Structure 1
């Protein structure tokens, strides 16, 4: 598709919206897969047979989903990954290219097999269970020629890693760090080699179970404090909480004030929850003052700003599939960082994008475009 027609299709130059970020190139490293999504009335018990209501095939994979979201919002993403030269790999790349994701950096393995995922969507509980089979062979550092890598990163605003294939990911991350490119790392679960990526991270976005599993700390707020103390180059950490929204600690705007009173991180979080207006259905936020000293007993103290982002209250009848909601959130954060959104704007925007994505089957079918009217108020706020 020609550049002009692509822009018109995506609504990139709507006069009702703020201008696109000046630098919107994002390089992402991670998984691309093909998802087989089966809908069932209720998740089966062991050794039970159930009737599937439908079976559909979609593109998937954390990095591929997040970059597709970023592309639809107006960024220019490039994906580094590896697929087999099988039919799955070819269809996965064709779908990404149709959505404006640059796949010129994708390594194609001759005779290899591509990653696939079986997703079971439970209509009764509104959950999804994923069973994925990794592609063969796995990507290795030698698959990343340094000259090509430097060229790919040359104009990037951000580098993003979905936390998978950590050995080759480290090669990309180390080069990005040498070039001074901010790094966003997704931390979904404990994984060998993930610590090396977190050492280089500028921003971290976690799944709900990760912070306490990674730190062995008793509460979520204290675990986030522990993560920021362990990784001093990280400017903020966010944990996504599904229908409960998200929790963020941001230390970017905080100066060094020795007279700040220390506030228990758990107590502050609970007090902020009480400020949430339950009658508001659209995503919003509540936060501490600009700078507080967060105390986590037995761990330490940290100067930062604590924010709670709320999720959209979606009528149950409108929720079709939560697959890829976290990827949509990350894609929106990538856009927000390129656009210079403050966290007070970024969290509601990302929660709104994730909520829209839950209204369609598969990880990408519901991802909104920049011109989607449901995003208009969130995008216009970037000028305020």
Structure 2
């Protein structure tokens, strides 16, 4: 079982010719509404990658709540740990330019009321708790403490970027970050900020694994004395919004199936490459058969059977 403690949002997405600068207004022709939030995205990504998944978080008592939960419900994610609170459901306002780059503003709303105590007895030995930073960081730490007390593994996607509490680092079995997040975490922790040097130093310091996603360059992963660089799978890029979440959810699902770190990274890279080919965060998240097909293609490109 993978349990995700994190954010649940509605994404309001508009296409623009270019992203605005400070104080600038740009026009888009219309907008689309999609379920989103890093926590919910990663939960759905893991579910579509074949894992049994429970989502723990919070939504408001408003019309956006049903939209935010719709695809999680349709795909069979356990939503019994989602609380309904007296705050608006979180939203993300996303602009996507013609190069498929994006700019995102998140209004936390109900996510600021997410409570780690809602994890209840959902976690046990062998389970994976997946965490991010779109809910209060104190609750993220409490969730990790609960997970470790029950023998579960804890994986943090340190996004949005920022320093990570040393008390939380001590509880992690693994960290997943992009290049920018690696630099932020590294600078705060007194570690290198260059991606590969950071990954090696973090893994050495904690005894867990560290994965740094590198966008179009793939991903770099290290655990113990082993290090792996996995190139990106070929893709036709339309919208990069969910690429990171697709990677994290599919990667966690692969670890949950017992795959070794390198193979799990290949699955994550493959899922991320598929996600960028469709507009919208959750609609773009691929399913296990499609991920496996692209992962096999990637392995063949690496000279593997």
Partner of 1:231: 206
Long gaps (5+) in structure 2:
300-304
| Structure-1 residue corresponding to 2:108 | 134
Tell me, what secondary structure is at the counterpart of 2:92? strand
Displacement of 1:112 after TM fit? 1.5
Number of the residue aligned with 1:92: 68
- What are the within-5 Å matches in structure 2 for residues 190-201 of structure 1? 190-191=161-162, 194-201=165-172
Aligned residues: 294
Evaluate the alpha carbon distance shift between residue 323 and residue 184 of structure 1 in structure 2; reply closer, same or farther with a 3 A threshold: same
Change (3 A) 1:225 1:37: same
Change (3 A) 1:192 1:68: same
| Conserved? CA contact 2:2–2:129, under 8 Å | yes
Q: Distance in 2 between matches of 1:94 and 1:140?
A: 19
Equivalence map 1:167-182=2 (5 Å): 167-182=138-153
| Structure 2: distance between partners of 1:90 and 1:343 | 36
Matches within 5 A, 1:1-384: 25-109=1-85, 111-123=86-98, 125-136=99-110, 138-139=112-113, 141=115, 144=117, 149-154=119-124, 157-164=127-134, 165-191=136-162, 194-216=165-187, 217=192, 219-232=194-207, 234=208, 236-251=209-224, 304-314=225-235, 318-372=236-290, 375-376=292-293, 378=295
- Are the equivalent residues in 2 in contact too, given 1:62–1:327 (CA < 8 A)? yes
- What SS class does the counterpart of residue 105 from structure 1 fall into? strand
Q: Deviations over 1:109-167 (max 9, x none)?
A: 0x3111100000011x32011011111472265x725xxx3421147621111134221
- CA drift at 1:199: 1.5
Q: Structure 1 length normalisation: TM-score?
A: 0.71
Change (3 A) 1:38 1:195: farther
Matches of 1:156 and 1:97, distance apart in 2: 24
Q: Secondary structure at the match of 1:41?
A: coil
Structure-2-length-normalised TM-score: 0.88
1:224-267: CA deviations, max 9, x gaps? 233223323x2x1000111011111121xxxxxxxxxxxxxxxx
The structure richer in helix per residue is 2
Contact 2:233 2:273 in 1 (8 A): yes
Structural RMSD (CA): 2.3
Q: Would you say the 8 A contact 2:90–2:111 is kept in 1?
A: no
CA distance in 2, matches of 1:136, 1:218: 33
Matched position secondary structure for 2:170: helix
Shift of 1:346: 2.1
- Alignment check: 8 A CA contact 1:34 1:92 kept: yes
Q: Aligned in 2, Cα 1:329/1:140: closer, same or farther, shift over 3 Å?
A: closer
**Contact 1:31/1:62, CA 8 A, preserved across alignment:** yes
User: Cα 1:46–1:202, aligned 2, differ >3 Å: closer, same or farther?
Assistant: closer
Going from structure 1 to structure 2, the CA distance change for 1:196 and 1:89 (only over 3 Å counts) comes to farther
The question of whether the paired residues in 1 share the 8 Å contact of 2:56 and 2:79 is answered with yes
Report the CA distance between 1:339 and its aligned residue: 1.7
